[in-house]
Structure 1
Amino acid sequence: MTDSLQTAPTQYLEADGIRFAYRRLGPDAGTPLILLQHFTGTMDSWDPALVDALAAERTVIVFDNAGVGRSSGATPDNVEQQTADAESFIAALGFDEVDLLGFSLGGFLAQLMAVRPKVKVRRIILAGTAPKGGEEHLLQVVGEAFAKDAQDVRLPLFFTPSAQSQRAGEAFVDRALARRQDRDPDSADTVSDPQAASIIAWCSERDPHHASLKAIGQPTLIVHGSDDTMFPSVNAYEMFKAMSNATLIIYPDSGHGALFQYPETFVSHVKTFLDA
C-alpha cells in the first residue's frame, strides 16, 4: 500500500455491535502496529509525518474507538470498557499478534491490553502516559490551555513555551490539518466528558506496589517529554522502575506532545525498538 495518513481511505469494521472507523497504511509486512489515541483525539489528530514513517516497512492501523470520530456507539467513562472496545476491534482485524503504540489515554489501554488474553501483544510503546495512580493535571492544564486563546489549543497543551518547541508545534499543527477530504469530525462533550472521567478515575486508583505494571512482561519502550504538564515525567520514571523489561527515553524541552515535536527521532527510536 502506498497511501499516507492524508490519503488513506476510511474503512469500517463491525465488532460487538460497534461500527469502527479505521485506516490501514503500509505494506503487509512485519507485526502490525496499532495506534491508540489521546484524550479527545481522532484518526486525524495523529501526525502524518510520524504515522507515514512508521508505515514505511510495516502495517500501521489508526482507528476511532467507540463513540469517537466516525465510529458508532457511546464513549465509555472508564478505561476498562474503552480497552474492551479496542480489543474487540483489534481482534476483528484477524492478526495473529500486534504491537501497540499508546499515547496519553491510549497508553492506559495499552497497559491493560498487554496482560489480557483477547489480543496477543508482542511489544508496547507508551508515550506521554501514566500508570494507575499516576500524577495527572488534566483539567487544570486543559483549562489553562484554552484560556491562552492560542491559534490552536494543541500549541500550549502539547508543547513548551520555548520558541523552538512552539515552532515545532506549529509545524505539527500544519501537518495534522493537511488532510482536507474525509476528515474525522472534532470530538464533542460526548467524548471529552467521559474520557476525562476515565483519566481522572485511572489516576485516582491507587496501585502502591505497581502490581499492574509488574504484570506486563512484554518489552516496552517508554517515551516522555521533559516538561509534560498533563502527565509529569515522574510517571515515566515510575513505570520504567516498576516494569521488568522497559526502556525509558525522555526528550528535551518538550511537553505532552514530545513524539510530535521530534517525529523523526521518535520514529527512529520506535523502529529500532520494534526491530530488536
Structure 2
Amino acid sequence: MAERMIEADGVELCTESFGDPSDPPILLIMGTGASMLWWEEGFCRMLAGGGRFVIRYDHRDTGRSVTYEPGRPGYTASDLVGDAARVLDAHGIPAAHVVGVSAGGAFAQLLALDYAERVLSLVLISTSSAVPGGRELPGPTGEFMRFVSSAQVHWSDAESVIDYLVAYSRMLAGGRRPFDETAARGLVRRDVERAHDFAAARNHDVLPDDERSRTALSSIAVPTLVIHGTADPMFPLGHGEALAEQIPAGRLLALPDAGHGAERADWATIVPAILGHTAGGQGG
C-alpha cells in the first residue's frame, strides 16, 4: 500500500495503490462528496489479494487532493472524469478495469465514452445512466427524499457534519439489514478529519453545467458488470436494470436487500464478481 500525491495539468491529487503493479490494474472511482476512504482498505486488499493492482484516489475537494473555496469550484464534472485518466497517466497505466460507485459509476461511463482506449472493462455499482434518455426510471424513495430535504447540518462544526453523514449512511443502507453505526462513525470521522476542508466537498453539488452531446451508452463496447442493491433508496433497482440493458455487453448482478454502495456485508459477493469480470487482459 502506498499513498502518493500526483500532479497533472496543474492539479494535485492524492492516490493510493494496493498490490503488485505488474498485475491487471483496477481503478476505483468514488461518488461525489466522498474521498477514497469510502473504498475501504479491506475491500481494496481483497481485490489486490485476488491478483489485481488496485488504485483509489481522492476527488478534487475531498481528502488530501486539491481543495477550492467552498461554493466556488474551479472545475467542472468533465474535469472530474478527466482526473481518472490523469491518475492512470501518473501511474503509467495505458488502460485499466474501471469500477465506479454512485456518481463514480457515471464518471466511469463517461470515461468509457470520452477515453475509450483507457477502459478495459466497467463495473458500475449503485449508479444510473450518465446519458439522458432511455426508459423512464423510478425516483428515490419517499423516505430518502424526506431525509435530504429536512436534515440539519452545520458545515463549520465537525461533530455536526459527522452526525449528519452517519445518519445519511444509515439512510443509504436501505433499512433492510442491521446498520453498523460504530463502523460508519469511525469511517466518517476519519474522512472528515483527513480532509483539507471538508466543507469544500459540497462544491460537487454546485459544479458548472458543462453538458455536451454524448454518444449513447450503446456505444460502450467493453464488458460491463452492473451491481445494484434491491433496497437502494437513491437509485432503485430499475436504474441498474436499465443500465445493463443499454450497454450491449452489460449484465446485472442484483444484491438482495442491499442499499446504496459497496457494503461490507456484500464484499464476499462483490469481490469475486469483480475478479471474475476482470480476469484476462481484455476485461474477461
TM-score normalised by L of structure 2: 0.78
Contact 1:10 1:23 in 2 (8 A): yes
Q: 31-40 or 73-82, which moves further after superposition?
A: 73-82
SS of residue paired to 2:122: strand
SS of residue paired to 1:22: strand
Question: Deviation string for 1:213-235 (max 9, x for gaps)?
Answer: 11111000000110111112111
Q: Which residue does 2:236 correspond to in 1?
A: 232
C-alpha separation between the residues in 2 aligned to 1:64 and 1:158? 21
When residues 31 and 252 of structure 1 are mapped into structure 2, their CA distance, relative to the original with a 3 A threshold, is same
Q: Which residue does 1:254 correspond to in 2?
A: 258
Q: Does 1:116 align with 2:114?
A: yes
When residues 155 and 20 of structure 1 are mapped into structure 2, their CA distance, relative to the original with a 3 A threshold, is closer
Pick from 59, 62, 72: which aligns with 1:68?
A: 62
Give the alignment of 1:94-109 within 5 angstroms.
94-109=92-107
Q: Does 1:39 align with 2:32?
A: yes
Q: Identify unmatched segments of 5+ residues in structure 2.
A: 153-162
Q: Which residue does 1:190 correspond to in 2?
A: 200
One-letter identity of the residue aligned with 2:120: R
Q: Which residue does 1:50 correspond to in 2?
A: 43
SS of residue paired to 1:166: coil
What is the percentage of aligned positions where both structures have the same residue? Answer: 23
Q: Which residue does 1:59 correspond to in 2?
A: 53
SS of residue paired to 1:14: strand
When residues 234 and 259 of structure 1 are mapped into structure 2, their CA distance, relative to the original with a 3 A threshold, is same
Q: Which residue does 1:217 correspond to in 2?
A: 221
C-alpha separation between the residues in 2 aligned to 1:71 and 1:123? 26
Contact 2:124 2:224 in 1 (8 A): yes
Offset of residue 92 of structure 1? 2.5
Contact 1:48 1:175 in 2 (8 A): no
Q: Which residue does 1:15 correspond to in 2?
A: 8
Contact 1:77 1:195 in 2 (8 A): no
C-alpha separation between the residues in 1 aligned to 2:106 and 2:223? 16
SS of residue paired to 2:12: strand
C-alpha separation between the residues in 1 aligned to 2:188 and 2:113? 35
C-alpha separation between the residues in 2 aligned to 1:186 and 1:263? 30
SS of residue paired to 1:115: helix
When residues 151 and 38 of structure 1 are mapped into structure 2, their CA distance, relative to the original with a 3 A threshold, is closer
SS of residue paired to 1:13: strand
C-alpha separation between the residues in 1 aligned to 2:146 and 2:11? 32
When residues 143 and 174 of structure 1 are mapped into structure 2, their CA distance, relative to the original with a 3 A threshold, is closer
C-alpha separation between the residues in 1 aligned to 2:121 and 2:270? 16
When residues 67 and 150 of structure 1 are mapped into structure 2, their CA distance, relative to the original with a 3 A threshold, is closer
Contact 2:14 2:57 in 1 (8 A): yes
Offset of residue 91 of structure 1? 2.0
C-alpha separation between the residues in 2 aligned to 1:49 and 1:141? 33
C-alpha separation between the residues in 2 aligned to 1:142 and 1:34? 32
Offset of residue 242 of structure 1? 1.0
One-letter identity of the residue aligned with 1:65: H
When residues 241 and 59 of structure 1 are mapped into structure 2, their CA distance, relative to the original with a 3 A threshold, is same
Offset of residue 155 of structure 1? 3.7
When residues 179 and 115 of structure 1 are mapped into structure 2, their CA distance, relative to the original with a 3 A threshold, is same
Q: Which residue does 1:6 correspond to in 2?
A: none
Q: Does 1:153 align with 2:167?
A: yes
C-alpha separation between the residues in 1 aligned to 2:78 and 2:138? 19
Offset of residue 121 of structure 1? 0.7
Q: Identify unmatched segments of 5+ residues in structure 1.
A: 4-8
Offset of residue 190 of structure 1? 2.2
C-alpha separation between the residues in 1 aligned to 2:272 and 2:249? 20
RMSD across aligned positions (CA): 3.4
TM-score normalised by L of structure 1: 0.80
One-letter identity of the residue aligned with 1:159: A
One-letter identity of the residue aligned with 1:266: I
Q: Which residue does 2:145 correspond to in 1?
A: 140
Q: How many residues align?
A: 259
One-letter identity of the residue aligned with 1:38: G
SS of residue paired to 2:217: helix
